[in-house]
Amino acid sequence: MPTSSSSLDRLAMTVLQPGFDGVTPPGWLRRALADGLGGAVLFARNIEDTGQTAELVAALREENPAVVVAVDEEGGAVTRFEAGTGSSWPGNRALGVVDDVTRTERVGRAIGRLLASADVTLNYAPVADVNANPANPVIGIRSFGPDPQLVARHTAALVTGLQAEGVAACAKHFPGHGDTVTDSHLALPTVHAPLDVLRERDLPPFRAAVEAGVQAVMCGHLLVPALDPDVPATLSRRILTGLLREELGFDGMLVTDAIEMRAVAALLPPGEIAVRALVAGVDAICVGASSPEGENVYALRDAIVEAVRDGRLPEERLAEAAARVLAVAEWHAAHAARRTAGDARAEGLGAGPGADSGEELGLETARAAMRVIAAGSDVHRAVPLSRPPLVVHIAPRMSQAVDSDVPVGLTRELAELLPGTVGHTIIAEATALPELSGDRPVVLVVHDAGRHAWVRDLLATAVQARPDAIVVETGIPAEPVGAVYVTTYGVSRASDRVVARWLTGSEETRSRQEKTAG
């Protein structure tokens, strides 16, 4: 017996996960949730603080208790809850440099507790991509590193930590975004590796995530000719059903990356992307931006319903997708109930096992990941900074995945320790350096200088003018320059604070990360 129009509409709404504007639910979103909308994605634009976010999520659940509330909270550069201040945790690459899976699981638990405090269902993390290409413009420090086995064990650890706190994890970007030189926000990347390399390099972290019980996987907008030469992974049944479902054995919720990203949006209209993705095996359609009255969300619903009516999308496939979305909601609800009961039992007894202080854990991790190369042995005997410096951030725009302004956190942290610190930011090519002469110490902050010729050129010019400059690289390190070269492997408040304390002699432990270049 054919499904009624209203039931089919509701199934189609269940598989959609749109973003929205505002710190309270707009009217169209409330109506859509009442109509069965299965998900909503939070961005920095929706978040003021944890209390407000909890109220926002509660308002969403008033309309649909089973709504999957999702967020990108990777730690490090990609943070929504802490976009205004910088993350409390230095991010995946720092965790990979430290290479302590117990610590990574603890960080996962700390992030999970932050999200659980606002009743978030799903974290679009961890990044399971192996950053095999140093020129990668969108993954970089978001990856645990270039080694598949390292990435696999830390992916599993972060999944375990997040899900221990009742927040569903989502390994991304299947089948692996690490060996690309194109940002999928801007165009369709191609992974040119042969099949044997993909199996040995890119797939182990996703296999590890599946074995760890990950609740969700996000597919990447990637063309991978060795797996399917015809269509991007998002639209490939061969990749999503054949490889992920049948070979790797994943039976959880499969979600797209945002479908307005140019990698796929340049190929097909949104409704067609949604339909073809569902046919290929996707269960949820992520839509980062919505029309002022949600018109695009209802247009997607209508396109899905029409595809079922036309026979292009089997109704059974849509029902299966909706069921997987609801299963994640049920999993979260069960964990949230157990968490509430456990919190009630533990009241007055102090924190339970694994309940690290998020801030202190982040600082410990940033401290363990920091490395210092000095041009002389004096770094062991003297504080690099004893007077307020000029801090010059040579900061090209990071990937569109980063939902925050240009990071100037080191200036802020140094100013607290050395009042009178001055900051200057350069965000575009062909911008002149500020005046560097004089007695004021100079700190030069760069991100992935090795990937940007203009940043390298400005950095070389600055170091030539001030050979005593301190250089801080927050991304993937390149050739060390400057009198002192500090690498953080992460963009975060934790990293900035640790570097500032180290530079001013405020850190108790200085020697473990230091080495001297003769």
Domain assignment present for 376? yes
User: What integer pLDDT is reported at residue 429 of this predicted model?
Assistant: 77
The per-residue pLDDT for range 330-386, each reduced to its tens digit, is: 999 998 877 766 665 544 334 444 456 678 999 999 999 999 988 654 444 456 899
Same domain flag for 58 and 148:
yes
Same domain flag for 50 and 144:
yes
Mean pLDDT value of segment 462-491:
95
What is the distance, to the nearest Å, from the Cα of residue 41 to the centroid of all Cα atoms in its chain? Answer: 13
State the Cα–Cα distance between residues 324 and 204, nearest whole angstrom: 24
Least confident of 61-75, 140-154, 429-443: 429-443
Same domain flag for 332 and 380:
no
Domain assignment present for 290? yes
User: What integer pLDDT is reported at residue 387 of this predicted model?
Assistant: 94
Domain assignment present for 136? yes
Which stretch of DSSP H or E encloses residue 277? helix 270-280
Same domain flag for 110 and 63:
yes
Domain assignment present for 360? no
State the Cα–Cα distance between residues 349 and 346, nearest whole angstrom: 5
Among this protein's residues, is 257 annotated catalytic?
yes
Same domain flag for 450 and 330:
no
The per-residue pLDDT for range 458-474, each reduced to its tens digit, is: 999 999 999 999 999 99
Helix/strand/coil percentages in the chain, nearest 5: 45, 15, 45
- Exposed/middle/buried for 5, CB within 10 Å: 0-12, 13-18, 19+? exposed
Catalytic residue among 185, 221, 332, 393: 185
pTM: 0.92
Domain assignment present for 353? no
State the Cα–Cα distance between residues 214 and 124, nearest whole angstrom: 11
Same domain flag for 324 and 402:
no
Domain assignment present for 352? no
3-state secondary structure of 489: coil
Catalytic residue among 72, 179, 257, 283: 257
State the Cα–Cα distance between residues 126 and 216, nearest whole angstrom: 10
Mean pLDDT value of segment 417-439:
90
Q: Is the pLDDT of residue 174 over 80?
A: yes
Same domain flag for 428 and 295:
no
3-state secondary structure of 285: strand
End-of-domain residue from the set 345, 379, 399: 345
User: What integer pLDDT is reported at residue 81 of this predicted model?
Assistant: 94
**What distances in angstroms separate CA 265 from CA 29, 273, 307, one per listed residue?**
23, 8, 19
In one-letter notation, the amino acid at residue 288 is G
Mean pLDDT value of segment 481-508:
92
State the Cα–Cα distance between residues 377 and 505, nearest whole angstrom: 16
User: What integer pLDDT is reported at residue 377 of this predicted model?
Assistant: 46
- State how beta strands 484-487 and 371-374 pair: antiparallel
The per-residue pLDDT for range 75-95, each reduced to its tens digit, is: 999 999 999 889 999 999 999
Domain assignment present for 356? no
Mean pLDDT value of segment 507-514:
47
Q: What b-and-e string marks burial along 24-36, b requiring 16 or more CB atoms within 10 Å of the CB?
A: ebeebbbebbebb
The per-residue pLDDT for range 114-166, each reduced to its tens digit, is: 999 999 999 999 999 999 998 888 899 999 999 999 999 999 999 999 999 99
Same domain flag for 311 and 404:
no
Among this protein's residues, is 9 annotated catalytic?
no
Least confident of 1-5, 121-125, 210-214, 308-312: 1-5
Same domain flag for 331 and 381:
no
Same domain flag for 335 and 399:
no
User: What integer pLDDT is reported at residue 350 of this predicted model?
Assistant: 40
- Domain CATH code at residue 462: 3.40.50.1700
More confident residue, 382 or 454: 454
The pLDDT confidence band at residue 518, using thresholds 50, 70 and 90, is very low
Same domain flag for 54 and 177:
yes
Instruction: Return the residue matching tokens 């339970």.
Output: 352
State the Cα–Cα distance between residues 469 and 436, nearest whole angstrom: 10
Same domain flag for 383 and 327:
no
Give yes or no for a contact between 425 and 477, defined as CB atoms under 8 angstroms apart: no
The per-residue pLDDT for range 287-309, each reduced to its tens digit, is: 998 888 999 999 999 999 999 99
Domain assignment present for 362? no
End-of-domain residue from the set 330, 345, 360: 345
User: What integer pLDDT is reported at residue 148 of this predicted model?
Assistant: 98
State the Cα–Cα distance between residues 371 and 367, nearest whole angstrom: 9
- What percent of the chain is modeled with pLDDT above 70? 89
What is the distance, to the nearest Å, from the Cα of residue 467 to the centroid of all Cα atoms in its chain? Answer: 36
The per-residue pLDDT for range 188-204, each reduced to its tens digit, is: 999 999 999 999 999 99
- Domain CATH code at residue 231: 3.20.20.300
Q: How many domains does the chain have?
A: 2
| Domain residue limits at 483 | 370-516
Mean pLDDT value of segment 253-271:
93
Q: What is the mean pLDDT of the chain?
A: 90
